[in-house]
Copies of this chain bind each other. A is one copy, B any other.
Amino acid sequence: MLRYPDDGGPIVRCTPDGDTHTRLVCEECGFIHYTNPLIVVGAVCHWRDRVLLCRRAIEPQSGLWTIPAGYLELGESCAEGAVREAREEAHADIAIEALLAIYSIPRISQVQLIHRAVLRSPDIAAGEESQEVGLFVRDEIPWDELAFPSVCWALEHDRTIGQATNFAPFTNPDGERGDFTPNSGS
Protein backbone atom coordinates (compact mmCIF):
# COMPACT_ATOMS: atom_id res chain seq x y z
CA MET A 1 0.00 0.00 0.00
CA LEU A 2 2.88 2.41 0.63
CA ARG A 3 3.64 4.66 -2.28
CA TYR A 4 7.02 6.10 -1.47
CA PRO A 5 10.51 4.90 -2.29
CA ASP A 6 12.79 3.70 0.46
CA ASP A 7 15.39 6.33 -0.29
CA GLY A 8 13.45 9.39 0.93
CA GLY A 9 13.94 10.96 4.37
CA PRO A 10 13.11 9.02 7.53
CA ILE A 11 9.39 8.41 7.89
CA VAL A 12 7.63 8.88 11.23
CA ARG A 13 4.07 8.13 12.26
CA CYS A 14 2.28 11.15 13.72
CA THR A 15 -0.99 13.06 13.57
CA PRO A 16 -0.53 16.38 11.75
CA ASP A 17 -2.12 19.50 13.29
CA GLY A 18 -5.84 19.57 12.59
CA ASP A 19 -5.87 15.98 11.35
CA THR A 20 -7.68 13.07 12.98
CA HIS A 21 -5.61 10.16 11.67
CA THR A 22 -2.07 9.01 12.04
CA ARG A 23 -0.09 9.68 8.87
CA LEU A 24 3.32 8.78 7.57
CA VAL A 25 5.31 12.00 7.53
CA CYS A 26 8.82 12.69 6.20
CA GLU A 27 10.86 13.90 9.18
CA GLU A 28 13.12 15.95 6.90
CA CYS A 29 10.67 17.86 4.75
CA GLY A 30 7.30 17.41 6.48
CA PHE A 31 5.73 15.87 3.38
CA ILE A 32 2.61 13.91 4.37
CA HIS A 33 2.27 10.58 2.58
CA TYR A 34 -1.48 10.09 2.39
CA THR A 35 -2.56 6.61 1.50
CA ASN A 36 -6.12 6.39 0.30
CA PRO A 37 -8.59 3.70 -0.61
CA LEU A 38 -8.60 2.62 -4.23
CA ILE A 39 -11.54 2.48 -6.60
CA VAL A 40 -12.10 -0.68 -8.62
CA VAL A 41 -14.52 -0.43 -11.54
CA GLY A 42 -15.98 -3.41 -13.34
CA ALA A 43 -19.03 -4.82 -15.05
CA VAL A 44 -21.23 -7.88 -15.37
CA CYS A 45 -21.44 -7.93 -19.17
CA HIS A 46 -24.38 -9.62 -20.89
CA TRP A 47 -24.72 -11.15 -24.32
CA ARG A 48 -28.29 -12.51 -24.51
CA ASP A 49 -28.48 -15.12 -21.71
CA ARG A 50 -24.73 -15.26 -21.20
CA VAL A 51 -22.23 -13.31 -19.08
CA LEU A 52 -18.61 -12.56 -19.84
CA LEU A 53 -15.93 -14.04 -17.60
CA CYS A 54 -12.15 -13.85 -17.83
CA ARG A 55 -9.66 -16.39 -16.49
CA ARG A 56 -6.95 -14.38 -14.77
CA ALA A 57 -3.39 -14.55 -16.07
CA ILE A 58 -1.99 -12.45 -13.20
CA GLU A 59 -1.77 -12.68 -9.43
CA PRO A 60 -3.60 -12.63 -7.15
CA GLN A 61 -5.80 -15.59 -8.02
CA SER A 62 -4.19 -16.37 -11.38
CA GLY A 63 -6.09 -19.15 -13.13
CA LEU A 64 -9.44 -18.29 -11.52
CA TRP A 65 -12.37 -16.54 -13.15
CA THR A 66 -13.50 -12.95 -12.75
CA ILE A 67 -15.62 -10.29 -14.35
CA PRO A 68 -13.64 -7.56 -16.15
CA ALA A 69 -12.58 -5.08 -13.47
CA GLY A 70 -9.60 -3.03 -12.40
CA TYR A 71 -8.39 0.21 -10.90
CA LEU A 72 -9.97 3.43 -12.02
CA GLU A 73 -7.40 5.65 -13.71
CA LEU A 74 -6.90 9.38 -13.25
CA GLY A 75 -9.25 11.49 -15.37
CA GLU A 76 -11.81 8.74 -15.98
CA SER A 77 -15.42 8.54 -14.95
CA CYS A 78 -16.43 5.23 -13.36
CA ALA A 79 -18.35 4.14 -16.45
CA GLU A 80 -15.42 5.03 -18.71
CA GLY A 81 -13.14 2.94 -16.52
CA ALA A 82 -15.44 -0.09 -16.65
CA VAL A 83 -15.64 0.15 -20.45
CA ARG A 84 -11.84 0.33 -20.66
CA GLU A 85 -11.34 -2.69 -18.41
CA ALA A 86 -13.66 -4.84 -20.54
CA ARG A 87 -11.75 -3.77 -23.62
CA GLU A 88 -8.35 -4.45 -22.03
CA GLU A 89 -9.14 -7.78 -20.41
CA ALA A 90 -11.49 -9.30 -23.00
CA HIS A 91 -11.31 -7.10 -26.13
CA ALA A 92 -15.01 -6.60 -25.45
CA ASP A 93 -17.05 -3.62 -26.60
CA ILE A 94 -19.64 -2.90 -23.91
CA ALA A 95 -22.34 -0.34 -23.16
CA ILE A 96 -22.97 0.47 -19.48
CA GLU A 97 -26.61 0.21 -18.42
CA ALA A 98 -26.68 0.82 -14.67
CA LEU A 99 -24.72 0.67 -11.46
CA LEU A 100 -25.30 -2.82 -10.07
CA ALA A 101 -23.42 -2.68 -6.77
CA ILE A 102 -20.98 -0.88 -4.53
CA TYR A 103 -18.86 -3.19 -2.45
CA SER A 104 -16.58 -1.97 0.32
CA ILE A 105 -13.61 -4.19 1.08
CA PRO A 106 -12.13 -2.36 4.08
CA ARG A 107 -9.32 -4.82 4.79
CA ILE A 108 -7.68 -3.99 1.48
CA SER A 109 -9.24 -0.49 1.36
CA GLN A 110 -11.03 -1.01 -1.92
CA VAL A 111 -14.35 0.36 -3.05
CA GLN A 112 -15.67 -1.61 -6.00
CA LEU A 113 -18.21 -0.03 -8.34
CA ILE A 114 -19.71 -2.83 -10.40
CA HIS A 115 -21.95 -2.00 -13.32
CA ARG A 116 -24.38 -3.85 -15.48
CA ALA A 117 -23.52 -3.75 -19.17
CA VAL A 118 -24.36 -5.30 -22.52
CA LEU A 119 -21.90 -6.49 -25.13
CA ARG A 120 -22.31 -4.71 -28.45
CA SER A 121 -21.09 -7.90 -30.13
CA PRO A 122 -20.10 -11.39 -28.99
CA ASP A 123 -16.58 -10.90 -30.38
CA ILE A 124 -14.23 -11.30 -27.43
CA ALA A 125 -10.63 -12.39 -27.01
CA ALA A 126 -8.22 -12.72 -24.10
CA GLY A 127 -6.35 -9.52 -23.27
CA GLU A 128 -2.91 -9.37 -21.70
CA GLU A 129 -4.17 -10.04 -18.17
CA SER A 130 -6.44 -12.96 -19.16
CA GLN A 131 -5.62 -16.59 -19.99
CA GLU A 132 -8.95 -17.03 -21.71
CA VAL A 133 -12.35 -15.43 -21.87
CA GLY A 134 -15.81 -16.89 -22.32
CA LEU A 135 -19.53 -16.26 -22.45
CA PHE A 136 -21.31 -18.43 -19.89
CA VAL A 137 -24.94 -19.31 -19.40
CA ARG A 138 -25.76 -19.33 -15.70
CA ASP A 139 -25.56 -23.10 -15.30
CA GLU A 140 -22.06 -23.14 -16.78
CA ILE A 141 -20.55 -20.49 -14.52
CA PRO A 142 -17.54 -22.01 -12.71
CA TRP A 143 -18.79 -21.04 -9.23
CA ASP A 144 -16.03 -22.98 -7.49
CA GLU A 145 -13.34 -21.25 -9.49
CA LEU A 146 -14.27 -17.59 -9.03
CA ALA A 147 -11.34 -15.39 -8.09
CA PHE A 148 -12.90 -13.19 -5.37
CA PRO A 149 -15.98 -13.18 -3.13
CA SER A 150 -17.19 -9.98 -4.79
CA VAL A 151 -17.29 -11.70 -8.20
CA CYS A 152 -19.73 -14.19 -6.74
CA TRP A 153 -21.77 -11.41 -5.12
CA ALA A 154 -21.96 -9.46 -8.38
CA LEU A 155 -23.14 -12.46 -10.39
CA GLU A 156 -25.77 -13.27 -7.76
CA HIS A 157 -26.93 -9.67 -7.47
CA ASP A 158 -27.12 -9.43 -11.26
CA ARG A 159 -29.38 -12.48 -11.32
CA THR A 160 -31.59 -11.02 -8.58
CA ILE A 161 -32.26 -7.91 -10.64
CA GLY A 162 -33.58 -9.87 -13.61
CA GLN A 163 -34.95 -7.47 -16.23
CA ALA A 164 -35.47 -4.51 -13.88
CA THR A 165 -33.89 -1.23 -14.98
CA ASN A 166 -34.50 1.11 -12.02
CA PHE A 167 -33.13 -0.32 -8.81
CA ALA A 168 -31.01 0.66 -5.84
CA PRO A 169 -27.51 -0.77 -6.18
CA PHE A 170 -26.54 -3.61 -3.91
CA THR A 171 -23.91 -3.42 -1.23
CA ASN A 172 -21.95 -6.17 0.53
CA PRO A 173 -24.11 -9.10 1.63
CA ASP A 174 -24.94 -8.84 5.35
CA GLY A 175 -21.87 -9.23 7.49
CA GLU A 176 -19.55 -9.90 4.55
CA ARG A 177 -16.32 -7.90 4.43
CA GLY A 178 -15.02 -9.45 1.21
CA ASP A 179 -11.84 -10.85 2.65
CA PHE A 180 -9.93 -13.17 0.38
CA THR A 181 -10.42 -16.88 0.68
CA PRO A 182 -7.60 -18.73 2.51
CA ASN A 183 -6.08 -20.01 -0.74
CA SER A 184 -5.55 -16.57 -2.15
CA GLY A 185 -2.10 -16.07 -0.73
CA SER A 186 -2.92 -12.40 -0.02
Contact = CB atoms under 8 A, between A and B. Distances in A.
Q: Is the interface of A mostly helix, strand, loop or mixed?
A: loop
Contacts of A107: 75
Top 9 nearest A-B pairs by Cβ distance?
A77-B104, A5-B8, A74-B109, A5-B31, A3-B3, A37-B72, A75-B106, A166-B168, A5-B26
16 contacts: A4-B4, A5-B9, A5-B28, A7-B8, A7-B28, A8-B8, A18-B128, A20-B88, A36-B36, A36-B39, A36-B73, A76-B109, A78-B104, A111-B113, A168-B168, A169-B169
Contacts of A76: 37, 104, 106, 109
Which of under 10, 10 to 19, 20 to 34, or 35 or more describes the interface residues of A?
35 or more
Interface string A119-133: 000000000110000
Nearest to A71: B36
Given A37-B72, A104-B77, A113-B111, A29 B7 contact: yes
Interface of A: 1, 3-9, 18, 20-21, 26, 28-29, 31, 33-39, 71-80, 88, 98-99, 102, 104, 106-107, 109, 111, 113, 128-129, 166-169, 171-172
